[in-house]
A and B are shown apart, each in its own frame.
Chain A
């Protein structure tokens, strides 16, 4: 002990093109923009980091292990726009040291609105991972680590998973810390792996910050922090966005060198090892029950839903998109269903957040829109069109829209 458990989140949404109320085309997504972003991030992050990790895994001959969660929409775009990324993930899968997790295929908030849709998206994702990498995921993470007791119960009832990953938020842990395996209430089988946000964010956010009092963070310093947990923890859960490597933390911060040397430094202590989430769930007993009656996430300081549901626009947009579920299913049209699902991706609502708008913070930096208002207008215009398409397909359904559209 402790076991270092890495999990990297890989996601790219289908961003919308500029869509006014006058537009009629059923092509909602900006293929050109999405392709160029995919390729850019592939060059800065996915390709160099995958190659680095492949190299490290081979060098340590099975002692260095990691996990990924790759969203369905990201996988589709890699296959379409940068297939070389897929081949590096393939190679990683074949090392036998890489675990793939399950999540909603469309990186959606469906858990909050439609249980049926949520379960379908999870199953879709599991099938995709099986097909692409020959692995069946046994550990689940919900979009943006959104979690509560109810989610655990649903996952447990699906009878497919051994553990769920979420944020090690202070208010659910109380005096306990995230370095132990826990379990949710009312679950016989499932285990809970909680993110060590302090150590994870040291790498993901603070690594390149010269004003940080621990700058520069060298591999041996970090390994010493891991060693400190010895005797008082089973696991160190380091969960982060994969774009940390090369995008959030640029190459010149030394982040790649850090990851190259970290395994050696950690493994210097014979008590330490690296485990995948499944291996953690298998190796350790749950030490306690963690009760999460209210929803948590890994977003912002609040670690709640306010990044996607903080204002009236977000609330309305989410409500409207899930209100269409019945209509969309009635059409039995594959294309309409797929378009509707791509509109559920949480990013669309994240762009509408007004929380830090005037401060130009993280939310704003990755936002393809000039303002949250523009993103809401764009989204609602698209949804409006999707709704008309559904109504046109269904015979005899009284159209709510006027003849002018």
Chain B
């Protein structure tokens, strides 16, 4: 079985759960012997990031002249071949962010390469105006997201026509047009994997363009894979899809081989740490975390709240914490990479995921892996599979604070949650998810 897979991001350079999920799934499928052609968008050049985070490139062979597709294979993923299509598309970005990012790129390119050749200010401004049109003509990338997605789709088709495969597997909305195009050109069945929907990301203020793309993808697909029943329900009720088309395959988690020493951090400090780790954006409910924190601090003093991550709401949260008068009890770490993630988990007494709408939620599984007890929002897909965790409605600040205090105040609770949670999470393996996806592939290829 050979799969043409369209993803967004891949570790070690990721900005959220999508990359982690793609990595886990791809690795497990590779271990099953499935051959995968994994296609990613990659920015044309490396740059220092501002508040819009950019993917930094993987170690790649030099680009060819067109700056397009260069294949390479990573060591641990035996049956996986990676292709990168030059594009400024980024996961989790909105069209406005995309537009800002393009302007950024243009400005930097302009200042680096052209500044010396230019004369006065007038010529500079004139030149800056002309760049978008010039770049679009050169076929590199579009100034607006909508066009870019379709340009990306065209590039994907060109690549697909050079390859042989049985099915197409597209992850989340940005890749759906590419998936649809490749399916149309090659006649192979399209399977789309819904890790999140516009309703999860934006509540009721959905972006119509993105909604349309999601809907088209779902209707063009032979089969849809949803990461939870919660997500499946959204697909059925909001997108007009019939039930027999949608399968639920839960995400898994990578088992870290590192044994955590039992007498871990925190012995020298009496202070308890309550951890929020994830993108600081509306979907993740950061303000509920802070409101619960304030309630906890009314009753307990020796506790600190750590918000690990970055996002469009980060500055607002920093302000909110200081306005509430708890600024000295809340720490913001910014985005954490690699070993820092492990370190922050090892420090934590409790991990809290107060998401407003979480299609699945891999982070709680990672927390359990690190022996950290977990409090999750009931409005999440992962609540469907975990029992040995605390659950709460995201809006119920009183109960959230009640449960946080209970974990910090009653050690047997923390102990029992840790023991049972760590045991339970071992049952959630990527190999099971991979096997289920493979079954979906087989069903769709046989149906044809």
> Which chain B residues in 387-426 approach chain A with CB under 8 Å?
387-388, 390-391, 398-399, 401-403, 405-406, 409-410, 412-413, 415-417, 420, 424
Q: Contact flags (1/0) for A291-308 with B, using CB distance below 8 Å?
A: 000000000000000000
Given contacts A371-B391, A404-B299, contact A377 B403 (CB under 8 A): yes
The answer to whether B410 touches A376, judged by C-beta atoms less than 8 angstroms apart, is: yes
The answer to whether B410 touches A357, judged by C-beta atoms less than 8 angstroms apart, is: no
The answer to whether A380 touches B391, judged by C-beta atoms less than 8 angstroms apart, is: no
Give the residues in chain A near B420, CB-CB below 8 Å. 354, 357
- A358 an interface residue at 8 Å Cβ cutoff? yes
Closest Cβ–Cβ distance, residue A403 to chain B (whole Å): 11
The answer to whether A358 touches B424, judged by C-beta atoms less than 8 angstroms apart, is: yes
- B76 an interface residue at 8 Å Cβ cutoff? no
The answer to whether A373 touches B413, judged by C-beta atoms less than 8 angstroms apart, is: yes
Give the residues in chain B near A87, CB-CB below 8 Å. none
Closest Cβ–Cβ distance, residue B400 to chain A (whole Å): 10
Most buried by A among B295, B403, B410: B410
Given contacts A357-B387, A357-B388, A376-B413, contact A381 B402 (CB under 8 A): yes
Give the residues in chain B near A316, CB-CB below 8 Å. 410, 412
Closest Cβ–Cβ distance, residue A17 to chain B (whole Å): 13
Give the residues in chain A near B401, CB-CB below 8 Å. 20-22
Q: Contact flags (1/0) for A355-380 with B, using CB distance below 8 Å?
A: 00110000000000011011011001
Q: Contact flags (1/0) for B295-310 with A, using CB distance below 8 Å?
A: 1001100000000000
Give the residues in chain A near B405, CB-CB below 8 Å. 21
Most buried by B among A21, A357, A358, A376: A21
Give the residues in chain A near B402, CB-CB below 8 Å. 20-22, 377, 381
Which chain A residue shows the least CB distance to B390?
A: A373
In the assembly, what is the distance between CA of A20 and CA of B298, in Å? 14
Give the residues in chain A near B424, CB-CB below 8 Å. 358
The answer to whether A380 touches B416, judged by C-beta atoms less than 8 angstroms apart, is: no
The answer to whether B406 touches A380, judged by C-beta atoms less than 8 angstroms apart, is: yes
Give the residues in chain B near A80, CB-CB below 8 Å. none
Closest Cβ–Cβ distance, residue A96 to chain B (whole Å): 50
Closest Cβ–Cβ distance, residue A32 to chain B (whole Å): 19
In the assembly, what is the distance between CA of A404 and CA of B405, in Å? 14
Q: Contact flags (1/0) for A13-36 with B, using CB distance below 8 Å?
A: 000000011100000000000000
In the assembly, what is the distance between CA of A313 and CA of B399, in Å? 20
Closest Cβ–Cβ distance, residue B325 to chain A (whole Å): 16
Q: Contact flags (1/0) for B71-86 with A, using CB distance below 8 Å?
A: 0000000000000000
- A114 an interface residue at 8 Å Cβ cutoff? no
Most buried by A among B295, B390, B402, B424: B402
Which listed residue (B390, B406, B412) contacts A21, Cβ 8 A? B406
- A232 an interface residue at 8 Å Cβ cutoff? no
Report the interface size for chain A: residues with CB under 8 A from the other chain.
Answer: 22
Most buried by B among A311, A315, A317, A377: A377
Closest Cβ–Cβ distance, residue B274 to chain A (whole Å): 15
Give the residues in chain B near A374, CB-CB below 8 Å. 390
Give the residues in chain B near A313, CB-CB below 8 Å. 410, 412-413, 416
The answer to whether B399 touches A20, judged by C-beta atoms less than 8 angstroms apart, is: yes
In the assembly, what is the distance between CA of A316 and CA of B416, in Å? 11
In the assembly, what is the distance between CA of A370 and CA of B401, in Å? 18
The answer to whether A404 touches B406, judged by C-beta atoms less than 8 angstroms apart, is: no
- A397 an interface residue at 8 Å Cβ cutoff? no
Closest Cβ–Cβ distance, residue A244 to chain B (whole Å): 29
In the assembly, what is the distance between CA of A377 and CA of B298, in Å? 18
Closest Cβ–Cβ distance, residue B225 to chain A (whole Å): 24
Which chain A residue shows the least CB distance to B414?
A: A312
The answer to whether A312 touches B416, judged by C-beta atoms less than 8 angstroms apart, is: yes
Closest Cβ–Cβ distance, residue A243 to chain B (whole Å): 26
Closest Cβ–Cβ distance, residue A83 to chain B (whole Å): 36
Closest Cβ–Cβ distance, residue B411 to chain A (whole Å): 8
> Which chain B residues in 368-404 approach chain A with CB under 8 Å?
387-388, 390-391, 398-399, 401-403
The answer to whether A354 touches B416, judged by C-beta atoms less than 8 angstroms apart, is: yes
Which listed residue (A20, A21, A373, A405) contacts B416, Cβ 8 A? A373
In the assembly, what is the distance between CA of A22 and CA of B297, in Å? 12
In the assembly, what is the distance between CA of A358 and CA of B402, in Å? 24
Give the residues in chain A near B399, CB-CB below 8 Å. 20
Given contacts A358-B387, A377-B402, contact A311 B299 (CB under 8 A): no
Closest Cβ–Cβ distance, residue B8 to chain A (whole Å): 34
Most buried by B among A20, A373, A381, A404: A373
The answer to whether A311 touches B387, judged by C-beta atoms less than 8 angstroms apart, is: no
The answer to whether B406 touches A381, judged by C-beta atoms less than 8 angstroms apart, is: yes
> Which chain A residues in 342-358 approach chain B with CB under 8 Å?
354, 357-358
- The interface of chain A, by Cβ under 8 A from chain B, is 20-22, 311-313, 315-317, 354, 357-358, 370-371, 373-374, 376-377, 380-381, 404-405
- Give 23 pairs: A residue, B residue, CB < 8 Å, sorted on A: A20-B398, A20-B401, A21-B299, A21-B401, A21-B406, A22-B401, A312-B415, A313-B410, A313-B416, A316-B412, A354-B388, A354-B416, A354-B420, A357-B387, A357-B388, A358-B388, A358-B424, A373-B388, A373-B390, A376-B406, A376-B410, A376-B412, A380-B409
Considering the complex of A and B, which 8 residue pairs feature the smallest CB-CB distances, nearest first? A20-B402, A312-B412, A316-B412, A377-B406, A358-B387, A313-B412, A21-B405, A312-B415
Known: A312-B416, A373-B390. 4 other contacts (CB 8 A): A20-B401, A22-B295, A316-B410, A373-B417
